[in-house]
């Protein structure tokens, strides 16, 4: 997923008001003395006792005055009790109170529920000017420990689980109640995953053993492998062009970066099983633990498939050693951010000269046979990793020299296939992965209900069929219109800020405005999911059986491969979606200049029609601003309004832009979790989007409110709505993460960890510090701020 944030300059002179425990103690001590003097127990007793005889002697006027005095004393007494209780609550929570100009709180059901959710997540013992993430989220983290089956737990995951319940309820209805054949296929796949007929357990390892024989055998098992007949060309074509498994490299059909109206073959580096190259190359204790767990996992799977334990471990170690060599020649992700340098358009004949470890024309002839397309040496391909492919050629040549080397290469290629489909086998194979998962993520996966995994799995393979169900069941059509309004307001605020960017020349500013206007937005779902005929046509060539989970996944892999290859003969459709509607996420595609906001994320806590605008703009508005800003981050800015990789900025402006992005890199490089620094280069694009999106959304909210009076406050929350905007933004990111998962994220993810997505963006935004009265030089209001957009 990807969301965002920004800045401005309009500082208030007044100081932030804080009521400390001492302040309340002084006030209460004065009031206590006064009240106790007037209504001590002894005095009350005497008056009451005497009053019974004297009362009759009073005149009517005196009686009325005495009654009024009594009522007044009673009111003062009640106020004293309320003040006393308030003192103790504030003392307990160390509540930080800010001025609120609204006339009174909103007390309808929605406001009370919203306020309750916000208050439960807040921790008022934390100074918001020191650590706004902890201030906004520490209460949530305390109340939401990571479930046993998870390594990460946050607002995104909670919403995903709510969405899963919606889909589960429908998929468990009789098949003839579903609206389309596509939805019926989704139900059959779901039930094959649940193994309702217990065929997965009954079959055990057999489906994989059959597949290995089709691949030509595996030296680890007794499956007919003959090294004298083996060729790298054959096994590569088989696993990539029939089973859609990435091996030594990956390929796909996608939009040509420099001519986004056409599709082209694209080739990139690949081949590592573990998530990062650091898992292989970094010699720390943590990484050794991961490598040891990986070898143990491989050995367990090999033995389950019939391998002898000692020889299996030895041969699996050879695979690990080979992957380590692949890691050595793999280019790190933080060095692959310059799109111009990555893009290498060449003919297949030229690629053959640079990387002759396989016959590329023969390989792609084999692939394109699926869609009846011929391939020649003049076929154009975009190569994103020519250096890697050149080094890979040298590595393959070394292994191809010996019989043992060829066996290792085949073992590696077959392993790539085995590891992908192992999840479709019996419980013994799934359990084998738990040790590696624990080493990588800090959780072995626990005993999460199988239905949750199967809903997630079904959504990943038949996402638009699931999307049709989700949209029909829960999506409010009015959300589309309201979301469009927020997007337009955020876009206008983003564009209006261009005039404040002194580093941008006038010509570049004009074309940047054109690009911002040209960014298309897709909201909720693609239209075809509501047209049963179009939906059925999309999955027409996919066969699913209720009792064949393993084979269903084989079928889906080939189905997806065919769908991708078919694009080579088609013009680019810039309205297509790559994310199912029920997904709790959003994305921007530079070659389409398109941002997409699925129905799954247009829900609380990101958006709700009953929310005040401050919360909707702080949640969904920032997400929208984030995706919009991706069109102008260090990678997105290299594409013009048509989605073409093109030099459309003046060089002087590019240099100034890079100076500003260096500030962001340095800022995030200094953030540290568990003793490990964030990689500011690797996360640069997301950090730019976080900062720019926050700023755009906040200014959109300010422009929306204009001169309108402050809305009603939320009950029990001493914050105005500008402050609530920032709380809403922060609370979207409330999450708990294991140490291992955090380490993996730092090494692999292009996003910064949640707490620094909040702290980093807010500390750069002057308006945030103004609203919370943060002193210059405090952690959330550093004197040196980074600003790109």
CATH number at residue 215: 1.10.1380.10
Helices 450-461 and 155-171, axial angle in degrees (round to 10): 90
Q: Is residue 165, in this structure, part of any structural domain at all?
A: yes
Q: Is residue 556, in this structure, part of any structural domain at all?
A: no
Residues paired with residue 347 on neighbouring β-strands, in sequence order: 380
At 774 the three-state DSSP class reads: coil
Last residue of a domain, one of 424, 447, 470: 447
Q: Is there a single domain that holds both residue 501 and residue 608? A: yes
Q: Is there a single domain that holds both residue 273 and residue 398? A: yes
What local confidence, expressed as pLDDT, does residue 85 receive? Answer: 41
Q: 131 vs 125, 127, 291, 599, 780, CA distance in Å?
A: 11, 6, 36, 32, 7
Q: Is residue 288, in this structure, part of any structural domain at all?
A: yes
What local confidence, expressed as pLDDT, does residue 684 receive? Answer: 95
Q: Is there a single domain that holds both residue 213 and residue 277? A: yes
Q: Is there a single domain that holds both residue 82 and residue 217? A: no
Q: Is residue 546, in this structure, part of any structural domain at all?
A: no
Helices 721-731 and 109-121, axial angle in degrees (round to 10): 60
Give the domain extent around 628: 1-18+112-172+478-526+579-789
What local confidence, expressed as pLDDT, does residue 110 receive? Answer: 80
Report the C-alpha gap between 323 and 325 in whole angstroms. Answer: 5
Q: Is there a single domain that holds both residue 253 and residue 372? A: yes
Residue 38, token pair as written in the block: 């007037």
What local confidence, expressed as pLDDT, does residue 681 receive? Answer: 93
What local confidence, expressed as pLDDT, does residue 28 receive? Answer: 27
Last residue of a domain, one of 32, 67, 95: 95
Last residue of a domain, one of 45, 69, 95: 95
Report the C-alpha gap between 765 and 757 in whole angstroms. Answer: 13
Q: Is there a single domain that holds both residue 245 and residue 316? A: yes
Q: Is there a single domain that holds both residue 321 and residue 216? A: yes
Report the C-alpha gap between 376 and 347 in whole angstroms. Answer: 9
Task: With CA atoms as reference, report the closest residue to 193 among 550, 717, 469, 592.
Answer: 550
DSSP 39: S
DSSP line for 250-266: EEEEEEETTEEEEEEEE
* 767 Cβ neighbours under 8 A, 6+ residues apart: 7, 8, 10, 698, 722
Q: Is residue 469, in this structure, part of any structural domain at all?
A: no
Q: Is residue 570, in this structure, part of any structural domain at all?
A: no
Q: Is residue 397, in this structure, part of any structural domain at all?
A: yes
Q: Is there a single domain that holds both residue 430 and residue 486? A: no
What local confidence, expressed as pLDDT, does residue 479 receive? Answer: 87
Count of structural domains within the chain: 3
* 305-310 own/partner pairs: CB under 8 Å, 24+ apart: 305/205, 305/208, 305/209, 305/212, 305/218, 305/220, 305/221, 305/418, 306/205, 306/209, 306/221, 306/222, 307/220, 307/221
* 24 Cβ neighbours under 8 A, 6+ residues apart: 86, 87, 90, 91
Catalytic positions, written as ranges: 627, 690
Domain harbouring 588, CATH code: 3.40.390.10
At 245 the three-state DSSP class reads: coil
Q: Is there a single domain that holds both residue 614 and residue 670? A: yes
Q: Which residue has the tokens 């590329």?
A: 360
Residue 724, token pair as written in the block: 């609530």
Q: Is residue 453, in this structure, part of any structural domain at all?
A: no
Which parts of the chain register pLDDT below 70? 1-103, 444-447
Q: Is there a single domain that holds both residue 430 and residue 377? A: yes
Q: Is there a single domain that holds both residue 4 and residue 127? A: yes
504-526: b (≥16 Cβ within 10 Å) or e: beeebeeebbebbeebebbbbbb
**Helix (H) / strand (E) containing 249:** strand 249-256
Q: Is there a single domain that holds both residue 141 and residue 231? A: no
pLDDT tens column, 324-344: 999 999 999 989 999 999 999
């Amino acid at each position: 997923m990807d969301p965002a944030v920004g800045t401005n300059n309009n500082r208030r002179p007044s100081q932030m008001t804080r009521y400390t425990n001492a302040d309340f103690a002084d006030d209460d001590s004065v009031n206590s003395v006064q009240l106790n003097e007037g209504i001590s127990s002894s005095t009350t007793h005497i008056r009451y006792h005497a009053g019974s005889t004297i009362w009759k002697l009073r005149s009517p006027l005196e009686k009325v005055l005495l009654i009024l005095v009594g009522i007044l004393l009673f009111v003062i007494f009640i106020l004293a009790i309320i003040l006393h209780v308030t003192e103790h609550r504030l003392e307990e929570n160390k509540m930080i109170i800010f001025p609120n100009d609204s006339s009174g709180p909103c007390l309808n059901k929605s406001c009370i529920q919203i306020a309750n959710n916000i208050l439960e997540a807040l921790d008022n013992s934390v100074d918001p000017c020191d650590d706004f993430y902890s201030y906004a989220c520490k209460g949530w983290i305390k109340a939401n420990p990571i479930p046993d089956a998870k390594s990460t737990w946050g607002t995104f995951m909670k919403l995903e689980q709510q969405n899963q319940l919606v889909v589960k309820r429908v998929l468990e209805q009789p098949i003839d109640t579903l609206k389309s054949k596509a939805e019926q296929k989704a139900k059959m796949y779901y039930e094959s995953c649940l193994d309702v007929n217990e065929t997965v357990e009954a079959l055990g390892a057999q489906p994989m053993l059959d597949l290995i024989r089709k691949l030509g055998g595996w030296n680890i098992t007794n499956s007919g492998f003959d090294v004298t007949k083996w060729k790298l060309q054959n096994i590569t074509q088989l696993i990539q062009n029939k089973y859609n498994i990435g091996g030594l490299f990956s390929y796909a059909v996608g939009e040509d970066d420099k001519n986004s109206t056409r599709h082209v073959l694209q080739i990139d580096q690949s081949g590592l099983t573990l998530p990062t190259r650091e898992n292989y190359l970094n010699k720390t204790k943590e990484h050794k633990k991961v490598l040891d767990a990986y070898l143990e996992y491989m050995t367990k799977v090999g033995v389950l498939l019939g391998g002898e334990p000692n020889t299996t471990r030895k041969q699996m170690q050879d695979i690990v050693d080979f992957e380590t060599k692949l890691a050595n020649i793999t280019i790190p992700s933080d060095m692959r951010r310059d799109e111009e340098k990555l893009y290498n358009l060449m003919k297949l004949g030229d690629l053959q000269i640079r990387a002759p470890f396989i016959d590329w024309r023969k390989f792609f002839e084999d692939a394109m046979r699926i869609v009846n397309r011929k391939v020649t040496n003049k076929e154009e391909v975009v190569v994103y990793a020519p250096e890697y492919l050149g080094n890979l050629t040298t590595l393959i040549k070394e292994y191809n020299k010996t019989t043992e080397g060829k066996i290792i290469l085949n073992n590696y290629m077959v392993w790539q296939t085995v590891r992908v489909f192992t999840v479709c086998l019996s419980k013994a194979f799934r359990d084998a992965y738990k040790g590696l998962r624990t080493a990588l993520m800090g959780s072995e996966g626990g005993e999460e209900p199988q239905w949750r995994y199967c809903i997630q799995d079904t959504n990943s393979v038949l996402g638009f069929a699931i999307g049709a169900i989700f949209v029909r069941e829960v999506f409010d059509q009015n959300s589309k219109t309201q979301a469009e309004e927020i997007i337009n307001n955020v876009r206008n605020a983003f564009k209006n800020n261009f005039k404040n960017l002194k580093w941008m020349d006038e010509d570049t500013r004009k074309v940047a405005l054109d690009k911002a206007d040209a960014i298309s937005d897709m909201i909720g779902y693609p239209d075809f999911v509501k047209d049963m005929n179009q939906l059925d046509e999309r999955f027409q060539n996919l066969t699913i059986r209720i009792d064949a989970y393993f084979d269903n996944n084989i079928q889906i892999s080939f189905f997806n491969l065919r769908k991708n290859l078919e694009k080579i003969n088609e013009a680019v459709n810039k309205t297509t979606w790559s994310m199912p509607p029920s997904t709790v996420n959003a994305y921007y595609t530079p070659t389409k200049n398109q941002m997409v906001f699925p129905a799954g994320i247009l829900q609380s806590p990101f958006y709700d029609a009953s929310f005040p605008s401050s919360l909707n703009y702080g949640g969904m508005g920032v997400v929208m601003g984030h995706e919009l800003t991706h069109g102008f981050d260090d990678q997105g800015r290299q594409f013009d309004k048509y989605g073409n990789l093109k030099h459309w900025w003046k060089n002087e402006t590019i240099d100034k832009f890079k100076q500003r992005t260096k500030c962001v890199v340095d800022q995030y490089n200094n953030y540290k979790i568990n003793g490990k620094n964030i990689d500011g280069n690797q996360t640069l694009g997301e950090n730019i989007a976080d900062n720019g999106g926050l700023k755009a959304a906040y200014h959109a909210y300010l422009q929306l409110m204009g001169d309108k009076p402050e809305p009603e406050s939320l009950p029990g929350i001493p914050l105005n709505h500008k402050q609530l905007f920032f709380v809403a933004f922060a609370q979207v990111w409330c999450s708990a993460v294991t140490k291992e998962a955090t380490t993996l994220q730092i090494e692999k993810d292009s996003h910064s960890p949640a707490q620094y997505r909040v702290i980093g963006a807010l500390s750069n935004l002057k308006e945030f510090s103004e609203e919370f009265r943060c002193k210059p030089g405090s952690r959330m209001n550093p004197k040196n701020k980074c600003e790109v957009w």
